[in-house]
């Protein structure tokens, strides 16, 4: 006789309303709803999101199953990506199958450690320019807006380091267009069937206008590089010069623009959001801020950081890691389930959706004692080793893990070190900002601060 595994259990979950399921509750307060659902229904919860059956998988074991071990059964054919597709076409973040694999292999070398280290100087140089502006604001006693400052800085860095282009003149246009797309994508996602995405309304025209703005910037950037056709060894050159092994074909302009758009969007908004939260959290936690300053004083003194300093800026990195735990920019993501499956002993039906949330899992008290407390020392090597891998996954995991994770962590460490060496920003509104869950989890209100010198 063979031992039979027990029949999978049917997950419980919030009932929601007829027809719309849980949509109304999600619209009202997505973070609160996610947290309550996980607390009340355990590792796998089930509900209806409009007409669709969906599951919230929060246990690290289930996440490993979905993202790593059985990843082929959990695809990006989820409707949340159809909106992203309208902006980035067939770029790396949404493509699948052979196209994705080919592009990922092509892009990967641009993100190797040695290549990223070579970008450190550009990252610090760009940050020093911002530091000069912060210094001016400090002397004049005028406030600065942290979120737009971080956005402009990370956009510039991605432009220079990966695409070999100075995008400073286009920063405002890109940010404004991106904001329209970001807000509308979330509104449409949450309204679901109420507003089909291609209605020719004024609302949709604003979306199209924003997308045209972004396309114009990207097309200009690609055309400028096409004219020169030199190999600068950066990501854009890799994409432009690569030839298909079998056919010898090169990537056409349309696809090239999709990839550039993807990198520009995926590569700046997330890191800027994380850094914005870091400033708010440091002010809220003076012990952590003091330890950070002590490390910067002892490792760097008054000199600027370099790539070689990054491994020695241990506490600085832990501050970023802990920020990404509490406020992961990608706070919720979804996959389509292809075939019936069992996750953590629960039945998951083919054709449904699986939602996963770093925001929720990274606050599970089972793995994160006193989860709301900001404590960078949760990231000592011993504590990391004691937790399951998927208790912490701000960059996801498995084959579709963020390609820019090491780039972002080095960039974040260098930016934080360069600015915190000199300044102690203090919020104009005393309270900690409220999280604003758009495509990424931003601090609401742009975070106005007064710049104090250290
Ligand atoms: C703190 C900063 C960042 C965070 C938290 C982050 C997070 C993520 C997450 C969660 C995904 C998976 C998305 C999905 O499954 O739909 C992802 C994918 C991706 N990220 Fe990042 N990211 C960051 C920075 C960057 C940077 C700096 C770049 C590029 C320079 C980048 C480029 C990409 C790309 C191209 C993908 C798609 C990869 C693929 O599917 O093969 N990201 N990122």
Q: Which residue has the tokens 């703005």?
A: 213
| Residues 284-331: tens digit of each pLDDT | 999 999 999 999 999 999 999 999 999 999 999 999 999 999 999 999
CA of 18 to the centre of ligand 1 (A): 36
Q: Best substitution site from 119, 404, 409 to test ligand 1's pocket, by max atoms within 8 Å of Cβ?
A: 404
User: Any idea which of 1-15, 113-127, 207-221, 339-353 has the lowest mean pLDDT?
Assistant: 1-15
Phi-psi region of 370 (alpha: psi -120 to 50; beta: other; left: phi over 0): left
Q: What is the whole-number distance in angstroms between the Cα of residue 131 and the centre of ligand 1?
A: 27
**Measured in angstroms, how far is the CA atom of residue 267 from the centroid of ligand 1?**
7
- The verdict on residue 107 lying in a domain is yes
Most informative mutation of 109, 266, 354 for ligand 1 (most atoms within 8 A of CB): 266
List, for residues 156-191, the tens digit of each pLDDT value.
999 988 888 888 888 888 888 888 888 887 777 766
Residue 223 placed within a domain = yes
| 3 state DSSP class of 453 | strand
Helix (H) or strand (E) holding 219: helix 202-228
Tell me the pTM: 0.94
Could you tell me the distance, in angstroms and rounded to a whole number, from the CA of residue 139 to the centre of ligand 1? 37
Select the highest-mean-pLDDT range: 40-54, 96-110, 175-189.
40-54
Task: Confirm if 425 and 451 have CB atoms less than 8 A apart.
Answer: yes
Is residue 145 one of the residues assigned to a domain? Answer: yes
Residue among 122, 271, 402 to mutate when testing ligand 1 (max atoms within 8 A of CB): 402
Residue 187 falls within a domain, yes or no? yes
* Whether pLDDT at 276 is above 60: yes
Residue 1 inside a domain? The answer is no
* Ligand 1, atom nearest to 94 Cα: 40
Gap between the Cα atoms of 223 and 377, Å rounded: 47
Tell whether the model's pLDDT for residue 224 goes beyond 80: yes
Are 211 and 181 spatial neighbours (Cβ–Cβ below 8 Å)? yes
**Would residue 3 count as lying in a domain?**
no
CA of 297 to the centre of ligand 1 (A): 32
Question: What tokens were used for 86?
Answer: 């309208």
How many structural domains are present in the chain? 1
Burial class for 445, CB neighbours closer than 10 Å (0-12, 13-18, 19+): middle
Q: In the prediction, which pLDDT does 372 show?
A: 98
Angle at 415 between CA 412 and CA 420, to 5 degrees: 115
Q: What is the mean pLDDT of residues 375-386?
A: 98
Helix, strand, coil in percent for the chain, rounding step 5? 55, 10, 30
Q: Do residues 162 and 235 lie in contact, with contact meaning Cβ atoms separated by under 8 Å? A: yes
Give the count of alpha carbons within 13 A of 61, CB side only. Answer: 8
148 in any annotated domain? yes
Whether the CB-CB separation of 167 and 178 falls below 8 Å is answered with: no
In this structure, what CATH number is given to the domain that contains residue 242? 1.10.630.10
Find the domain containing 214 and state its range. Answer: 23-453
Beta bridge partners of 450: 426
Distance between first and last Cα of the chain: 73
Mean pLDDT check: name the lowest of 138-142, 178-182, 358-362. Answer: 178-182
Helix or strand run (H / E) with residue 337: strand 333-337
Pocket of ligand 1 (CB under 6 A): 92-93, 104, 158, 162, 262-263, 266-267, 270-271, 274, 329-330, 333, 394-396, 400, 402-404, 407-408
Ligand 1 atom, smallest distance to 393 CA: 10
Eight-state DSSP code of residue 66: I
14 part of a folded domain: no
Helix axes 146-163, 405-420, angle to 10 degrees: 130
Residue bearing the CA closest to ligand 1, atom 43: 402
Give residue 193's pLDDT. 45
Token pair 């920063």: residue: 171
CA of 19 to the centre of ligand 1 (A): 34
**What pLDDT shows up at residue 194?**
44
User: Residue 4: pLDDT band by 50, 70, 90 thresholds?
Assistant: low
Instruction: Output the CA 304–ligand 1 centroid distance in Å.
Output: 28
State how far the Cα of 364 lies from the Cα of 371, in Å rounded to an integer: 7
Nearest residue CA, atom 42 of ligand 1? 404
Distance, CA of 311 to CA of 336 (rounded, Å): 38
**Interval 139-162 mean pLDDT:** 94
Paired tokens of 289: 């801020």
CA 155 – CA 167 distance, rounded (Å):
7
């Amino acid at each position: 006789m063979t031992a039979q595994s027990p029949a999978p259990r049917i997950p419980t979950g919030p009932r929601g309303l007829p027809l719309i399921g849980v949509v109304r509750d999600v619209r009202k307060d997505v973070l609160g709803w996610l947290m309550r659902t996980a607390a009340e229904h355990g590792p796998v919860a089930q509900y209806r999101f409009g007409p669709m059956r969906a599951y919230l998988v929060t246990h690290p074991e289930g996440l490993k199953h979905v993202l790593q071990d059985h990843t082929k059964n959990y695809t990006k054919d989820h409707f949340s990506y159809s909106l992203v597709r309208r902006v980035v076409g067939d770029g790396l973040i949404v493509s699948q199958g052979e196209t994705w694999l080919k592009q990922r292999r092509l892009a990967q070398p641009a993100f190797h450690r040695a290549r990223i280290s070579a970008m450190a100087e550009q990252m610090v140089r760009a940050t020093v320019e911002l530091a000069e502006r912060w210094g001016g604001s400090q002397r004049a006693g005028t406030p600065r807006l942290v979120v737009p400052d971080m956005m402009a800085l990370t956009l510039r860095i991605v432009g220079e380091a990966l695409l070999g282009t100075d995008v400073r003149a286009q920063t405002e246009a890109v940010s404004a267009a991106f904001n329209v797309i970001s807000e509308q994508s979330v509104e449409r996602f949450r309204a679901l069937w109420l507003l089909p995405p291609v209605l020719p309304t004024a609302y949709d025209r604003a979306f199209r206008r924003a997308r045209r703005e972004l396309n114009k910037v990207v097309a200009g950037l690609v055309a400028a590089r096409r004219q020169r056709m030199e190999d600068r060894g950066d990501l854009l050159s890799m994409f432009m010069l690569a030839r298909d092994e079998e056919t010898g074909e090169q990537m056409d302009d349309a696809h090239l623009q999709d990839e550039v758009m993807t990198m520009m969007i995926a590569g700046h908004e997330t890191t800027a959001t994380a850094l914005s939260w870091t400033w708010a959290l440091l002010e809220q936690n003076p012990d952590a801020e003091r330890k950070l300053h002590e490390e910067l004083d002892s490792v760097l003194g008054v000199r600027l950081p370099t790539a070689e300093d990054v491994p020695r800026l241990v506490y600085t990195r832990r501050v970023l890691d802990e920020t990404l735990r509490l406020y992961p920019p990608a706070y919720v993501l979804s996959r389509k389930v292809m075939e019936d499956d069992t996750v953590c002993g629960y039945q998951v039906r083919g054709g449904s959706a699986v939602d996963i949330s770093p925001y929720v899992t990274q606050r599970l008290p089972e793995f994160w004692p006193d989860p709301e407390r900001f404590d960078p020392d949760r990231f000592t090597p011993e504590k990391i080793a004691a937790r399951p891998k998927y208790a912490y996954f701000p960059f996801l995991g498995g084959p579709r893990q963020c390609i820019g994770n090491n780039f972002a962590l080095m960039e974040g460490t260098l930016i934080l070190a360069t600015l915190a060496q000199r300044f102690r920003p203090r919020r104009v509104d005393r309270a900690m900002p409220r999280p604003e869950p758009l495509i990424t989890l931003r601090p609401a209100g742009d975070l106005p601060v007064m710049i104090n010198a250290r």
